[in-house]
Chains A and B, each alone.
Chain A
Amino acid sequence: MEIKGSVALITGGDDGIGEHVAKFFAKRGAKVAIVGMHQENIDRVVKEIKEMGGEVIGVQANVISEADTAKFIKATLEAFGKLNIAVTCAGIIHDGMMLTLDKETGKVSRKMGLDRWQPVIDVNLTGTFLTLRDAAEAMVNGGWEGLLVPISSVNKAGQVGQINYSSTKVADALMPKIIIGEFLMRGIRNIRCVGIAPGYTATSMLTGMNQDALKALLADVHLGRLLEPDEIANMIGHCVENSALNATTIEITGGLCYPHGIAK
C-alpha cells in the first residue's frame, strides 16, 4: 500500500510517538486524523501539520469510550472519505508493585489497587481493541485496503513494577495473529495487521526522567541511546509499504538486552 494518498488515523497523535507518526505520514502525503485527549495539544499538532502543508483534522476523544471511538471514525470518514491506516499510540502507565511489604514485619502493607490497574487496562487494551475494531469495520464496509497497527512495547516480555502495563502490551502484541486469523476465516484479504513493540524511545516520558536512571536503562541497549520517535514512525511506514508484513508484532529496540547481554 502506498502512503501517499492514504488516510491514516492515529490515536495518541497529540503527543509522544503518535505525534511523530502523524507528522511522518503527513510529510509522506497521507491525510491524517489525529485523536488525543488534550485539545491544546491537538490544536498545536494540527497547526504544525497544516504549516507543513499536510491534510489534517484533529479530534478530542477518549479511546476507552465506544461513543468517542465512533465519533473519531465518523469524523475521519466525513473529512477524507475513507480510512486505510489505524495506529493505536494512545497509552498510559501507572507503575507500581502488586504487593508492598512492611520493612519491619515483612507482612503486606499495601496492594496495587484497581485505581492503578484498571485505567491502564482500559486505555492500553480496551482502547486499542475499540479503535482497531471500529477502524476495521469501516475498512471492511468501505472496501478499502487497510493496515491496523497496535502499539505494543518491548516490556511485553514482562517488567517488574509494570504488571498492569506489561499485561496490556503482551495482549496488544497478540492481537495481529488473532485479527488476521479471523480475517482469513471471514475472507477479508485486503486488511493487514502488524503490531509494533518499541523499546526505550526519546519521548517526554523518558527524557524527563532521572538522568542516572536513564543511564542505567541505556546500559542494556546495544545501540547505546534512546530510539528517536521518527525511527518508530519509519518502521510503521515500512509496514504500510511492505505487504509481506502481516499477523505479527515487530520489536524495534536498538538491541535491548537483559543485564549481562542476554537477549530480551
Chain B
Amino acid sequence: MGRYLATRLSHVVITLFAMMTLTFFLFRLLPGDPTAMVISPALDPAAQEAMRVRFGLDRPLVEQYFVYLANLARFDFGYSFRTSGPVWDLIQGRLVNTLLLILPSMTAAYAIGAFLGAYIGWHRGSRTEAGVILVATILQSAPLFWLSMLAILFFSIKLDLFPTGHIVSPGSFPEQTWRMYLTWDFLHHLALPFMVNTLYQLCFPLLLMRSTMLSTVGEDFIELARMKGLTERQVLFRHAMPTSLLPLATTLPMILGWAVAGSVVIETIFSWPGLGLLMVEAVTQADYPLVQGAFLLIAVLTVTGTFVADMLYGMLDPRIVYR
C-alpha cells in the first residue's frame, strides 16, 4: 500500500508539473506576442517597454519558465491587468463560492442518485425503471445552461420565488466577507442553482448505480439474505445497495473535479461569482494572468480529484492488490 501510494503520488506530481508547463506555453506561445500575457497591450509603448524589463520579459523564455515555476510554488500567480491586485487574492474568494455551490449539490445528487438507482436496478424490467431511465437520459442530454434558463424563466420570472442570479442581493455586501454566507439572503440565492445542478448531476450516479445493481442482484449472497428470511426491503438496503456503492463512491472525487471545471456554465447563467464565472469574465476582458490563475487552480482540483478517486478505489475494494 505504502509503495503504491508513493508511486501514485509521484504520478500526481508529474501530472501537476506537466499541467503547469502546458499552461505556461499555452498562454505564451499561442498568441502572437508572448508578453501580452503579462503586459496589457492597452498601455503606451514606452510604459510597455519599461514593464517588459521590470517583469523580466526581455529574458529568454526558458528563464521566464523557471521564474514562473518558482512563483507558483509560493502561490504567486502574478497580477491582474484590470485590478492590478495579486491574482491569488482574487481567486481564493471565488473558489469558496464555487465550492459552496458545487459541494452541496453534488452531495445531494449522489445521495438521491444512489437511492433511486438502487431502487430501479432492484426492480429490473419494471415500468418505473424504463420511465426513470428515459427521464434521466433526456435530462442528461439537455444542456445545463438551457435547463437553468428554463428554471429562471419559470421559478424566478413567472412565479417570482427565487432571485434570477447573484450570490446575495446586489449592494448588501460590498466587500466579500464570510458573514454573507450566514444570511438567509445567501440561501435564497443558492436555492435555484443548487436545485438545477443537483437535478442535472444526479443522472450519472443514478445510471451507474443501476447498472452496478444489475450484477449485484444475481449474486449468491443476495439469495442467502433472502433465504435467511429478510424482507425484500432489508435485502435491498442492507445487502444489495451497500455492495453496489463501490463504483459510485470511487467516481465521486473525479466527478467533483469535473463539476468544478463545468461550473463555468452554471455560474455564468446565474451570475454566481465563482471561479468559472471569473474565468469567463477574465477571458472576455483579456486579463490573461487572471485566466491563467483560475485555470491552474481548476486544473489542480481536477488532478487531485482523480488521484483521490484512484486511492479510494483501492481502499474500499479489498480485492484490489497493489503492486
Q: Do A and B come from one complex?
A: no
